[in-house]
Structure 1
Amino acid sequence: MRCRRHPAWLALLALLGAAPLAAQEAPAGSASSDDIARKLADPGAALISVPFQYNYQGSAGPGGDAHNQQLKIQPVIPFVGENGKFILRPILPLSWNQFPQDKHGTGDLFVQGYYIPRTAAEAHGTEFGYGFAALLDTASHDSLGTGKYSLGPAFILVHKTKAWTVGALANHVWSVAGDDDREDVSSTSVQPFVTRNLPDGWSLSVTSETNYNWKAASSDAWTVPLGATVSKVLRVGHTPVSVGVGGFYNVDRPQYASRWTARLTVTLVFPE
């Protein structure tokens, strides 16, 4: 049984340190709470932010009495150019699990990168991007990760109006290296979302984080959570902070996966 440490923290800290250098164009004045809320609802926005997403997952395991907790640190780092923008989205999970094993530590580092070119459709609020997804073997224990290095394509589609933001993120990864004794990875993820932008920095989002595991038995292949989140942009001193709470229910899931998730997200925002 593997139990080890990886420099995932160092890589993430390096990315966070580079984040303030990514913004090249700074508008005069301070962005309003409504403007920030609209940009946070858009996964393709050129807005530097650091979400801390806490998930409490209940009713897991054979007896339905196991509870898992996870904190995802997921900075969003945009690089803006004349012909488009590149959005880098690393996600490092820290887990405290009762199932499948009573273990805690870091999980696999997941990184997505999208290039979103400037097109005529952007004037009508629509953006499409493409890039890569990578799952890196950084888990501190076997039960917290896949034991594999996986790569694949990723896509983003967003349509924005003043009141609504709708779109989807999608990716597929295949294992390309790693522990030969672990199961190969072939996984498709699709995250559709609809966000209603409300006054005073409020927003309401309905989303799913659907995953299909091509290597699992057909009865355990789908994970389909459906849920909603309400968020509010506040200011701590001069720093915008978004706070959101939400809940998800797995309408389809592997046999012993959690039935529901409660979520709290605190996002630090660094406007251009």
Structure 2
Amino acid sequence: MPLVARWLLSVVVRSLLVGLAASLLIAEPAAAQRNPITSFTRLWGEWDVVPNSQWAPEAVDPSAQPDRSIQIFKFQPVVPFRLNDDWTVLTRTIFRFISLPTADPLIGLSPAGGPALLGWDQRSQAGLADISPTAFLVPDLGPDFTIGLGSSLVVPIGDGAIDSGKLSVGPALLAFFHRGPWVVGARMRNVWSVGGQSDRDDVNRMVVRGLLRYQLNPDWYLISSPIIAADWTQPDGKGWVVPVGGGVGRSFRLAGQPMQVSVEGYYNAVKPQVLGEELLGDWTIRTQWQILFPN
């Protein structure tokens, strides 16, 4: 091959290699810079079980024992709607299915022959409770931060003790930092009742859900996502729930569909009081399952 031809061939090959390397360097950061909060639609199921709970204080039922379980299943689709290159509306709607220990009064005759409360017939009341849609307006702050401000609504759907009985509304906020294997942040809201059943208690409730996640490898991660709640209508700070704990999760694909599952345990370090008694069990066991759809 003539010298000039060899030189031209070497120039072409070098140019192709440089172009390929540049495209790879550009494509890799672009993939790595996907926002983990707003880049996925999630179908999210969560099951919380609180064993060793008590249905009522002893002042109501002297025979009440901490031998019941509270179960809460939440289906919460998370759907982002990208308005433009700078703004995204992130929506989360929580559907709650609750099994709550309760009891029916047993009425009979007293020794004097009059009507009297003889005891309680304990049972579990289950069904669809409150539905909570929330929407956040999220600006594009780059790959490391997600901050959003919005509003939340609580719509009572259940019957009786398993829902709040009040239509409530309030502000909502989320803030997350995500870099490398870490995701750290929280989502919070505070709602006040604006309508509903007049014989039910007013609502003034704050819920903060933190998130601390560390990705051990492409398949496994550590997670802590406690749900801290405060009922501001209770006096002397007796309406707080503060769990402490965490668990482990795994990412995988099923029939090509990306999913995540986790199992977590939380010790309820601070529990609300009813007539001076703590009715909630000491531990909450949580199972989460997410199906992810990249946007």
Contact 2:81 2:88 in 1 (8 A): yes
> 13, 30, 53: which is aligned to 1:60?
53
- Superposition deviation, residue 212 in structure 1: 0.8
Q: Which moved more, 1:79-88 or 1:198-207?
A: 198-207
- CA-to-aligned-CA distance 1:197-252 (integer Å, 9 cap, x gap): 12123211123211110112335311111221311111111111211111111100
- Superposition deviation, residue 99 in structure 1: 4.5
Higher normalized contact order (CA 8 Å, seq sep 6+, divided by chain length): 1
Partner of 1:150: 168
1:184 aligns with 2:165: no
> 78, 81, 84: which is aligned to 1:79?
81
User: Could you state the TM-score of these two structures normalised by the residue count of structure 2?
Assistant: 0.73
1:270 aligns with 2:293: yes
Change over 3 Å in CA distance of 1:220–1:85 after alignment to 2: same
1:217 aligns with 2:235: yes
- Superposition deviation, residue 67 in structure 1: 0.6
Q: Which moved more, 1:84-93 or 1:200-209?
A: 200-209
1:195 aligns with 2:188: no
**Secondary structure of the corresponding residue to residue 245 of structure 1:** strand
- Superposition deviation, residue 110 in structure 1: 1.4
**Secondary structure of the corresponding residue to residue 95 of structure 2:** strand
Within 2, Cα distance between the matches of 1:99 and 1:246? 26
Change over 3 Å in CA distance of 1:89–1:213 after alignment to 2: same
Within 1, Cα distance between the matches of 2:261 and 2:224? 16
> 88, 93, 107: which is aligned to 2:91?
88
For 2:281, give the aligned amino acid. S
Question: What is the aligned length?
Answer: 230
Identity across matched positions, percent: 26
Contact 2:214 2:221 in 1 (8 A): yes
- CA-to-aligned-CA distance 1:156-194 (integer Å, 9 cap, x gap): 111110111111111100001101110000011222221
Contact 1:46 1:87 in 2 (8 A): no
- Superposition deviation, residue 97 in structure 1: 2.2
Which ranges of structure 2 fall in alignment gaps of 5 or more residues?
Answer: 1-30, 58-64, 104-122, 273-277
Contact 2:39 2:294 in 1 (8 A): no
Larger Rg: 2
Partner of 2:41: 48
Partner of 1:133: 152
Partner of 2:124: 102
Within 2, Cα distance between the matches of 1:206 and 1:172? 22
Contact 1:133 1:171 in 2 (8 A): yes
Within 1, Cα distance between the matches of 2:238 and 2:133? 25
> 111, 116, 138: which is aligned to 2:133?
111
> 215, 221, 224: which is aligned to 1:206?
224
Contact 1:94 1:105 in 2 (8 A): yes
Q: Which moved more, 1:176-185 or 1:94-103?
A: 94-103
- Superposition deviation, residue 55 in structure 1: 1.3
Bigger proportion of residues as strand? 2
User: Could you state the TM-score of these two structures normalised by the residue count of structure 1?
Assistant: 0.79
- Superposition deviation, residue 264 in structure 1: 1.3
Within 1, Cα distance between the matches of 2:246 and 2:191? 26
Partner of 1:17: none
Partner of 2:284: 261
**Secondary structure of the corresponding residue to residue 146 of structure 1:** coil
Which ranges of structure 1 fall in alignment gaps of 5 or more residues?
Answer: 1-34
Partner of 2:8: none
Superposition RMSD on alpha carbons, in Å?
A: 2.0
Within 2, Cα distance between the matches of 1:206 and 1:68? 21
Contact 1:60 1:99 in 2 (8 A): no
